[in-house]
Each structure stands twice: as structure tokens, then as C-alpha cells.
Amino acid sequence: MVSTILALIGVLQLRLALAAFRGGRGPGLWTGVLGCALAYDSLVVAAGAVLGEGAALESLNTGRFVVHAVLTPLAVVCGALLLDPGRRTARWAWACAAALSLLGVSTTLPGLELEPRSWADTLRYTDAGDAGAPVAAVVSILVLLAIGVVVWKRRSVPWIALGAFAVFTASALAFKVPPLGNLGEGLMLAGLLAALRDRRMDTGRTSAPAPAAP
């Protein structure tokens, strides 16, 4: 039952990713990439019980850790470009995301030892030396939440903040109920897409001054 729910969440995340890709370049493109990464995580866990323990499932789960470490900070880029598509904001967002990716890789991947673990009818590989919440991912979500609050205040668009709050809350509960983390990521993705499509996002952009009359 839980595996089926995770498969549905993964498919929904893929649909949201495809919808974001149709939003064009910039935040649409990177929201789509992030959505594909989140869908990969959900679908791998959903397929775990079917594949069973072994090298194939372990390799796929190694990919889960790599994807989370490298691509979760894309949430910062997506939120920042929705807030302000200017070059200065883009440079700041990419620098922040790169630093968080490096932090995620350095704190998650070295010495990674995977072991199979079951929950309900799901099977996944987790880190045998689990040290708690991934710091880089947590910081990424907190930065996205801060961006979302600014967007909400400036443009009355709450979706980024609500999505970030949803994934932050769900991730805290995921230590006891792991699939909640995937559900929260789906809500975060939905929040980014909703903001991308909200017409009010255009109201905060400064238009070029009209040329003076001769």
C-alpha cells in the first residue's frame, strides 16, 4: 500500500516537473530539474520491494543520496529566480546552491555504507552510520522558506513559503514515517510551480522607464 502511494507521489512529481519545464527557461527549467530529482527518489523507494535486496537496488539507492546531496540546493535557485530574475540575484543563488551542494557531498557521501531497511511494505537502503538530518538539505529549505516569506510579503504570493514550510514539517516527521518526506517534497515542488504560474509574480518586477518625449 505504501509503495503504491510512493509510486503515485513519484508520478505526480514527474507531472509537476514536466509542467515546470513548459514554463520556459530560468526558474521553470530548474524547477523541472529539481522535480525530476525528487521523482527519482520517490520511485526508487516505491520499487524497492519489487526489486528486492541486491546490487541493483543498492546502486539505485546510492543515486538517491547523490541526487539529494547535489540537487536539493536547486530549491534555492528556483525560489531566488522567482523572487528576482536579475543577474545579481542569479549569481548569489548559484553561489549559495554550489556551496550547499559541496557541503552536502562532503558530509553525506564519504564513508557512505548502505544497508537494507524495511518500513511497512517498502524497502530502501539507508546509511548504516546515519548521523541525523542532512545539514545542507535543511539549510536549503530554510533559505527557500525565507525567500518564500519575502515573496509573500512583497507580492502576496504565499505558495513558495507554504511549500517550504510543508517540506520542513514533513521532513521532521519523516524520521518516524519516512514517506512523509517524499510527500513534503511533492508539496514543495507544487508550491514552486504555483508561484511560477501566479500572475501576481509579475507585479514585483520593475519595468523600464518610458523614453522621454522629444
Neighbouring-strand partners of residue 124? 117
- The phi, psi pair for 72, rounded to 5°, reads -55, -40
| Ordered per-residue pLDDT tens for the chain, 214 residues | 899 999 999 999 999 999 999 977 789 999 999 999 999 999 999 999 999 999 999 999 999 999 999 999 999 999 999 999 889 999 999 999 999 999 999 988 888 899 999 999 999 999 987 656 688 999 999 999 999 999 999 999 999 999 999 999 999 999 899 999 999 999 999 999 999 999 888 644 433 343 443 3
Domain 2-201 listed as CATH 1.10.10 = no
Contact 158, 185 (CB under 8 A): no
* Residue 180: Cβ-neighbour burial (10 angstroms; 0-12, 13-18, 19+): middle
Domain boundaries of the chain, sorted by first residue: 2-201
